[in-house]
Structure 1
Amino acid sequence: MTGVPARRKGRAWRAAVGPVALAVAAAMLSGCGAEGGDDSASGDREARYRRVIEDPHPSPADVIEAAGAPSGVVGADDGSLLLTYDATNVEDDEGPAATAWRIVGPDGRTVAEHAEHADAEDVRPAFRGVSGGFVQVPGDRGAFLLDVRGERHDVTVTDTPSRPRSGDVLLSEREPALVYRPATRTAAPPAGLPEEAVDFAVDERGTVWSVEQSLSGEPYRVVWQRDGRTLGSEPVPKAYGAADLAARGDTAAVALDLDEGVRGLLVTSDGGAHWRTVLAGGIPWKELTGLFVLEVLADGRLLVGEEGGRYWLADDPANSAFHELTTPATFTSFTVGGTTLYGIVDATTATYDLVRHEGLWISDDGGRAWRRAAGFGTAGVGVRSRVFW
């Protein structure tokens, strides 16, 4: 996750979400509050918001109410969810801010929560869902594990490379690249990564998929390895670069890039035995001009789109035909957990007020219906459902 620009709650980051139980999906929370409102209500909210970010010891409930929508959501293997919230200085890039997280158990009730004062220019923590909890991506404060009860455990970060194994989780694919091992609570660079790799992913079996850029002008190449042994490679079509890479199970996909933007996909659905290019598939590639999003669902279907824009979901795991998702509002952040879709509606400019439809939206039927989850108090959660078909 990157630094936070000057806006009310910071830029909503893409968060990896593990498989989650439908009980949680039906009882999730986000910050709640009136959308819009009269001038008096708006003024009251601004005053409350300022008090929260200036408070040296803010409460989680106050930060969540001020933030409105969560800035991220990740899931652990037992169905627990971690939601993060961010309230920053509206008037300036610098100044006071506040952050919070809340863990919701598989039954939909709040298990633990925490808030703290921050500075607007601070880099916000990012989390990844892992076996037994949630790991903070190493930053200025190092790394730690929050278990599903909200208890904090140290994570050892080492410079010694280690070969990824089954069950390992990719924490960061950019420098420094790190893979987390739940069994030992350690994070280490992946061993054996090709020197020419410009992007890589680690799937649940410990297979390392990487995109290599040749220094000799040869086409980009996809390489996949396991236990230090190269299993195969596939050249990217000559005219294209590689903009993004995603892998899960037997599915891997590379975004095919030209100077004008992403123009298609290179896809395998059988672990690399066969590859094909998707240059149409129902997606108007030339209209995608924003930050590209590429995700793999648990059933092998691909989700593609652009952050803050439109999204398309594959009709089936063959990933040759896609349909555009109908969403209740423009999502500022979008991610998947298993086969569940999560979209966050948040402000895109600095404001104290909530935007229309602000919050976390969930679909467990491939985007045919969406419901917005909302929090009620600090002891438990409930659902304010608004279904869009």
Structure 2
Amino acid sequence: MKTSTPPPFDPNDPAGIDDLLSADEKAVRDSVRQLCAQRVDPYVADWFERGTIDDVRGLAKELGALGVLGMHLDGYGCAGMSATEYGLACLELEASDSGIRSLVSVQGSLAMFAIWRWGSEEQKTEWLPRMAAGEAIGCFGLTEPDIGSDPGSMRTRARRDGDDWVLDGRKMWITNGSIADVAVVWAQTDDGIRGFVVPTTTPGFSAPEIKHKQSLRASVTSELVLDAVRLPAGAVLPEVRGLKGPLSCLNEARFGIVWGALGAARSSLQAALTYAGERTQFGRPISGFQLTQAKLVDMSLEYTKGLLLALHLGRRKDAGTLRPEQVSLGKLNNVRESLEICRTSRTILGANGISLEYPVIRHMNNLESVLTYEGTVEMHTLILGQAITGQSAFR
């Protein structure tokens, strides 16, 4: 039995999970953290308050230069990093803001992944290198104004007209929509659901931005309107038909959320811990009171469990053994617990918890959206319920 002296206790990593990461994984994490500290953190509260990101295209190019756009994909200018490295990047991005992680997730795990996995060679060579560099921005059109958790009932339709396709319909709550150069749009056809690569300059395509959000304000969210959008035969994704296509993309994005939500939790927890050590009531810091310590311990415990789960799922994804139901397990748990961590952190900060001088209320509001998108709590519960019992309860 070894009797060496253990390292000092780290309040930010109480279980010593850093020991489970490789040097390369830590390097990826640290490089993303450094970019966010310089390029995002000083400005993001102002972006959130104003509901806009200054120079979003410039930020996209910086993220592309760092290699995080489509970073877990191979070839075509993509970095070819591991799933775990991608997860760690998502955690750091969302520690700054969920909207920044959403920009990266939609670009890489939805739009780029759809083209990379299901596209033609021509589509890949045309779009992926520019998207990996941040020179072209993508969006992903699946959700519709009246169709959310049941994408098989989508009303957007694509019909053949000679050799061309003509698309009509609307998509809703589309991240990056108003700034996108290309949209991956899913539509009903006579042969089932198909995906289309739609340059946003195509006549009949428009993407009005959605206003009056109180969540994900540092993120571009749009409606997509397709009014007789005519596309050549080569615009269709040739390698997939049916819901398998969009659901495979959603699974990639959900994996990023498993990690990303923990970033918002970590940021809020660290803010609460710092505040509790500085805020004095009844003659001593509030961190010295039992009820406050109970909150901090419970939050640290749930964050640690969530990070261990994310790391385990990342290792499974890198080994090729990760199942979609396991991604649902991670998304359901980690977003739910991260939101509770943000809410509890807000109570420690008291009235200051609602001020954008601190990150907590911003993270809390953002996670209300993260809780819903890429599959609601109800949908992931039913996915797991079916997997556990063998009985479908969707209908």
Q: TM-score, normalised by structure 2?
A: 0.25
Q: Give the number of the structure whose residues are more often strand, by fraction.
A: 1
Q: TM-score, normalised by structure 1?
A: 0.25
